Amino acid sequence: MGLLIGTSSKMNLTSSEAAAYLDALRPMVADVDDRILFVLLPFTSIWVARDRLAGSNVRWGAQDVHPEDAGAHTGDVSAPMVADLGCTYVEVGHHERRRDYGETDELVAAKVAAAQRWGMTAIACVGEARRGTLDEVAEVLDKQLRRLVECDLARLVIAYEPAWAIGVGSQAAPPEWVGKAHAAIRERLAATGAPGSDVPIIYGGSVGPNEGAALLEQPDVDGLFVGRQALDPRVFAAIAHTPVQR
């Protein structure tokens, strides 16, 4: 698998706004053929991605999913529902979900399993809430990964997103730190045996055009997961074109 460059619009972009965004983005990235591009939109706008991105080099997906396939879960959305809209990826376990809804590692793993059950790849977010030593962070990551390594590793992407690097006013984590954190994740995955060592690990957290190249130079960084800056399609296109030198 090549590099993964993607974005989650979070609770932004109505259906009309998503249509305009994708219509602008698609020609800007049409020449990108050496990496996988994806966008994760709100549930209400996924159908727009299906219509606007069909036949393009940009894949689409959802920002969350319920662990059950159906049932009395008012307001929730299931894996078969988003799979029916052509989703390739489903994000689970973002720090904001863990913080605002009390999502546990067990629930995140169940959501991963739901996405995989319906043929989609789960992007499972991990990361520490506060800055600490590498050993302290590795312990947090190890705990978050314990249930994930029991899932289908062939349909799993790990997104390292330290909470202190997320949000307005935050800055991306230093590339050297990201490289060390990704190496710690890789070590844990490799301990499970093949194909654990092949699971892509992408970085998310205040990524902009100026940070992309240095982050992608790190040997265990397999891609970028862009947040608010990618709400400008020109910025996302610039990041999608980031040259890689390793």
Catalytic residue ranges: 94, 161
Which residues lie below 8 Å from residue 184, measured CB to CB, with a gap of 6+? 134, 137, 138, 141, 142
Are the beta carbons of 46 and 54 closer than 8 angstroms?
no
Q: How many CB atoms lie within 10 A of CB 145?
A: 22
Whether 37 contacts 58, CB under 8 Å: yes
Task: Measure the CA–CA gap between 191 and 81, rounded to whole angstroms.
Answer: 34
Decide the pairing of beta strands 58-62 and 35-41. parallel
Query: Residue for token digits 């990524």?
Result: 207
From residue 9, give the alpha-carbon distance in Å to each of 85, 89, 125. 17, 14, 15
